[in-house]
Structure 1
């Protein structure tokens, strides 16, 4: 994935998971406790809660609770009804006393005012038959006591077994006694009720409640403190009355949907009543002693309430601090990016082109296709596509007349298994040393199938022998006589242009495997894939050619001419990754705390990092260490790329000569835009009959370009095998080396 795609991908990732996903998760969320799927659920939507404190001999510290619970039942299918509902009754130990429950009754309240009194079941229903059997069946309830254990079928809940509900709202009234709800200490008594919490409050539309304290157990004014906990407001309002329920002091609250807003850190509805001073034990006279009944607790309890009330203010201060920190860090990041660019500009010489060119219609120079593509993509487009470059090199060898592609079976289509490479030119291998005769020279010429050159040998006009250097060639051996500057003529009599570095390397590879002058494309690719060391040498030569050509011809200031650009792009990627982590994982973590989203602090910092990354990437395009010559040549070649990639060539009225069309196709293939030139050829319709290359429609197809990509994969596979072999010191052969493998022992 190139850098452009990398950045676009992560920006889309940020938008989806930072903005869209939180919305979708809120809109479509459901609780596993109350639902088996998006369209299959039973939710508590309405509550009428009433708790009456009891402080009597043998029954002190207890609360009798009566609830009317409305469930919204929505089965996904009428063939898969709801047969049970439940209300959690979580048990716990508080200061050594067990808080548990005794269920008194369960009723179903019908819309017409009638009620169905449920009977207690002797067992927890488990099998499907239990819900409809004549022995058990619907309209029963069962209290599954703790401690909670799924393996022991102990769920700390009361279950209501209903008569198959499809989609309806049903209301139940349950009454149960909560033991040890009120605890006494040396200087204070505390009644603490966790009415509802966690998943059960998420879908509440209304919640009304009353806490009833008998008048004789109610502390005097100034001797008690009542407090509520929960909801986004941190606490909810209540009223007090001595007349609503005669004989009782009543704490009442009425919450609607606007009040019942929750976040993950405040999903509870709780009430506490503290009595102190002379009334410190007024409602716990008969409550059992706990571990700390002789200890003072009032100050600790008051401090805890005070700290709870201060939580929103502290959270706001922390959010402001986090926001300020994010802004400061944003400024630091921006400053670093600017200063970094200034330092690089000051330390290095970046040349400007001698002239600005938008389109360049000629071929700037006879440049190697692989190097030309590397030059074009050095700044603007990221990374060269090696597969396209290999296709371009082969096409250039065809254009220059060194090879041609032909069908093996003329009646079949142009497929890789029906295409062969034919070598049209073979360098002359000339015997050297005192034993070499004129007949040897002529025979060597015939053996190399270069008939036009034989006459040249006879006339002594082109024949050159190369004397062996000391220690290289022994008498009687042979050596090639053709150099890059020597005139070459192929078997068709065409005078050949010199080959570039990579063209020569590719040409030598073809000759290596085309022993008789031909080889099928499929065989050629197989030989490349399996000749590990030779292919690795070939691949290394191709990859090193960019630096070799760039340095030797004065295009680059140094071998690591892209080092600064790569460093900048790596820094940009780090910024993007940090932005992703902050705006997804960071926001997810703090959203579950009172920091919420901290006024968008992580979004501000994340967006800053993305902007910094874009700035760094933009600056990176300038960090290519060209010489003045390199910058000028880059400008021309990139202008040629723009010309070939635009629609201008299709609309041109000037006549383009066939040799130029051929070069256009070669370099467009190297740039990955061959379809543009092919389309222009189809529109302009030049007479291509005089061009063997342009006349062959196979070079216009995706199959031809695909071969370059397939060749690249084969070459890289062979290279990796070769390098792993040399690095491990292993062998290409199977087995375990000398001797047999297998386990064993010995004496």
Structure 2
């Protein structure tokens, strides 16, 4: 019996040895972010609404996506699932219970009105756009005086940018008959317009948190949905308008209430100015000594690249919180230097109206990466990928900055996508840059220092009351009867302001930095000084042409590109320059790659950036603006997305 036990024990141990690697391999954690969700709701004449829902996943690892669709109260018909490819085509999956890759399964819970789609598409370290297409019957309600669509769009579980386009069956002639309101996210924007000759509602919610939702209610003429069986013979148009306007007014009152709270907090902050100034001073000197007890002094000029990081990360690590359009231009140049794109000066398209004083040329951007050659897009950092997708939208192999700007201005949907890419570029550089320099935590502490200081300097009336503890001095009438106290007040007020100015100057000239950040910042400053005074040095002794092309990328972000390009043209022959990674397309007229490219990028980003909304209830009248608070009771609140 003991022999059998030993044999079984040995077999069990062998099975564990064999199965353990399989268990480890299968235990890889599922990790992903849903960065974008683009929804098109196409209203049909019979009141049905056809949905196209594209959800962009930024995946570390996952076996597939899960989408729970809330269709409660309506019939769900004609669904399809697939993947949106880079060329714009959809690769549709087959519905199957096999769980095989490239298939999807559905689980319908009619009691709760939830249909769950499971899409089997294992992926790692890539971006995947899951494509859902479905139709809800009679989702529109035909009242006696208006047609109404009231729906919650997007999902509930993940933080993402949501874009919704609602297409009406035709073009509305009377603007008063077509209105829309957004609910659920204060940062949302909603507008009315046209697309492909049809009236449309455009709603966007950037950076939607998991506690927010995207709800849109739109009313439009009954003539748009004449075959709709969902009819309620009651007049509702004015009630919907009144209810929505009441929500707008409620938002205004809430805003005023918030302003009152802020004023109260400000007054409380004014009570302790001398204490806060002392804290700010102590914080400044003690933190500087603690973080950098033995500061070093590096040479004025640094002749080598301090770090092998991207220009956008260099900028946010050492010079500014968010990248600028100059940093974006530098990223474009870096992509060209690395072989992902090529840049070339071309003539602008002829216009009917002469653009007097404007530039006659623009930059042509060509895609150089294919499946067969060149570097891999997967090797790019996240913010580089967003910049690449911004300047070369999916399906485009070449485009000029002029065309990019024009398309951004004219195409609302494209504008939203471009703005999302720009925001993602900025946010990623803003977060990742400070991590390289130890400054992520330090900038928060420095911000705290400034917050303390800005509460300390104004309203120095309270200084005397606190320092002298004159609690009984509560009015200017008492102060007027005490000239000595007024003199003391004046002296302390002047001293407080001078003290504050000295702190600001100290923090500007000798900011709080760790030893690592201080050393790296001095190196980048020295590198910038070298580029700025490049005419005083022998360029060939400093670096070869390929290195100078790399240095030029950083010169754009550092604001000294014009000097570097001029020096390179003087030092290197045209034949040498044409052999470089940037090629003749750049050196034929380097000005376009600095000033003109900067201007074009600034114009394109400005076109992609929506105007600032007012308060959270700015969509007064339903003709466009921001989102309101609360909800209008739209359907679809149980919809959610995830992965497995």
Which range, TM-score by smaller chain?
0.3 to 0.5
Bigger radius of gyration: 1
Q: TM-score scaled to structure 2, two decimals?
A: 0.41
By relative contact order (CA 8 Å, sep 6+), the higher-ranking structure is: 2
Q: TM-score scaled to structure 1, two decimals?
A: 0.36
